[in-house]
Amino acid sequence: QQSSPEKLQSFCEVRAFAINMSDLIPPKNILFPPEKIFLNWQNMCDIGAGLRNLGNTCYMNSVLQCLTYTAPLANYFLTCEHSKRCVKKGFCMMCLMQKHIAQVKRIAGHFKQGRQEDAHEFLRYAVDALQQACLTGYDSLDRTTTFIHQVFGGYLRSEVRCLNCSGVSDTFDQFLDLQLDIKKANSVIEALKEYVRPENLGESCYKCSKCNEMVTATKTFSIHQPPNVLTLCLNRFDVFSENKISKMVTYPEFIDIHPYTSEKSEGTINYRLYAVLVHAGNTCNSGHYYCYVQAPNSKWYKMNDDCVTPVDINTVLKLEAYLLFYIRYELLYLPCL
């Protein structure tokens, strides 16, 4: 689907700073119009069914339940708009998401049925498969304009500052989720503060283009363009030993990420929690995955394979979370104090 020149110009104006600063070529087409993305549920309904475990498929079940209750994703699938115009030959993740278990090898080729896998890794493969399905027949330059990227995607800013001349070099990278280090953090807020804390690169570790020499510099990450759906991965697993960091890391139901962005003006960027994925066990290749999701009727449920149980928000906020899913919303009023 190609958009009019007026819409394309408008889209490029919104994202011009991120695109120009990262030396990216602007997209040729807008593959999905932003105004057709609805962050609120368009149909109110109760919770759906659980998913049967076919042998260590709990990681898939949990991820797919979290995706199923991602409102903009569900709203889009319920319109059947993609399947009506899909030109992808063979397997299409967008068309066949409901058949995910039978098609798992096509989503993540190295995953083996019957073996426990990492839920975060599967989430990345699943979202990437959705993204590739949206790009079928189009140029990769248009990747930031797909429906999937406009739901899950954002931009990170990496600022390197020379401590000799104070010169700044900025680069911008796309992201679909944020991985937070929790070794020293007891809350998501603490982990986010650590994420954007300036890092000293050490002496003679950076060549400044202005000084034209190796200098001492700092590197600072910030969220430059926040996504509509913010996915946070709490890094509980050691890359080398596979041992798990088993501790409680608190997280809020509502979060303002404005302090962690490169936006300097005052304001808020508000998100609401709608899904939590939990891992029970000592290593990433063992144990059990399950999740908690908020249904369109605003009630919370525990989705443990094919077992679906209602829970309250207090229970949801006291979990040993692995993945947190937040959706952006506009704060229309201030609560009474």
What is the three-class DSSP state of 179?
Answer: strand
Give the CA dihedral 18, 23, 28, 33, nearest 10 degrees: -10
User: Within its chain, how far is the Cα of 217 from the centroid?
Assistant: 30
Q: How far is CA 241 from CA 116, 284, 285, in A?
A: 17, 10, 11
Instruction: Tokens for 194, please give them.
Output: 């650590």
Give one word for 212, left, alpha or beta, with left for phi > 0 and alpha for psi -120 to 50. left
CB distance 31 to 138 below 8 Å: yes
CB distance 307 to 62 below 8 Å: no
Catalytic residue among 95, 211, 258, 288: 288
What are the phi and psi torsion angles at 119 (to 5°)?
-65, -40
How many whole angstroms separate alpha carbon 302 and alpha carbon 293?
A: 7
User: Within its chain, how far is the Cα of 242 from the centroid?
Assistant: 23
Catalytic residue among 45, 58, 120, 165: 58
Written as one string, the DSSP assignment of 45-99 is ---------SSS-HHHHHHHHHHHT-HHHHHHHHHTHHHHH----S--TTTSGGG
CB hemisphere CA count around 291 (13 angstroms): 29
CB distance 257 to 327 below 8 Å: no
What is the identity of the amino acid at 210?
A: K
| Catalytic annotation present for 336 | no
Rg of the Cα atoms in the chain: 21
| Catalytic annotation present for 58 | yes
| Active site positions, annotated | 58, 288
